[in-house]
Amino acid sequence: MIKYRYTIEYKEDFNEVIVDLGIDSSLKNCYLISNSLGSDIFGDFATIQEEIGNLIDLLKGKITLYEGGGNVNLINSDKSFTTFEDIFAEEDEEDRTCEIETLEYVKILLLWAKENFQYKSQRGAILKEEAELAVDWIEEKSIEVCEIENQGRDKLDLI
């Protein structure tokens, strides 16, 4: 379950899904995350697999830093936090960064990807079989992320 409140919008003109975190006031400049989904992280299956795979490797400690983005935001992730930085903002602007726990970001990314493939399949933008393959993979990764989260809780319980 995602820690932050959100809504999902469906943009018929572009067969696009928007995860809007704007209703959660605890996440400063969360529009940067919404803007990245689809523009910095493309909705094709290969890109989603690579992005989620790298972030899961980060959460597991296999890598220490993951950098991405570039069309709208620079996205830098370590095991604890992911930072979004607006590449078009002026240096002194307050609204140029958003920081979120990397685990929560991965959950949002998985949610967006699943909704994206299901919506595109419903609209006929991709084949039903392609969407099913993607959704099955996303559900497997969601289970893996839950296991990572539970392992982190177990470690905290031991302290």
Q: Is the pTM of this model over 0.75?
A: yes
> pLDDT at position 135, please?
98
Share above pLDDT 70 across residues of the chain, in percent, rounded to a whole number: 96
Span 101-105, average pLDDT: 97
Q: What is the pLDDT of residues 5-35, one digit of tens each?
A: 999 999 999 999 999 998 988 999 999 999 9
User: Hey, is 83 helix, strand or coil?
Assistant: strand
Tell me the pLDDT tens digit for each residue of 40-59: 999 899 999 999 999 999 99
Distances (CA, A) of 74 to 69, 98, 116: 5, 11, 22
List the one residue out of 98, 109, 102 whose CA is nearest residue 59: 102
**Cα pseudo-dihedral 131, 134, 140, 143, rounded to 10:** -80
Amino acid at 21: L
Residue 96 CA to residue 76 CA, distance in Å, equals 14
Higher pLDDT, 70 or 98: 98
Is pLDDT at 117 greater than 70 in this prediction? yes
- Select the more confidently predicted residue: 153 or 100: 100
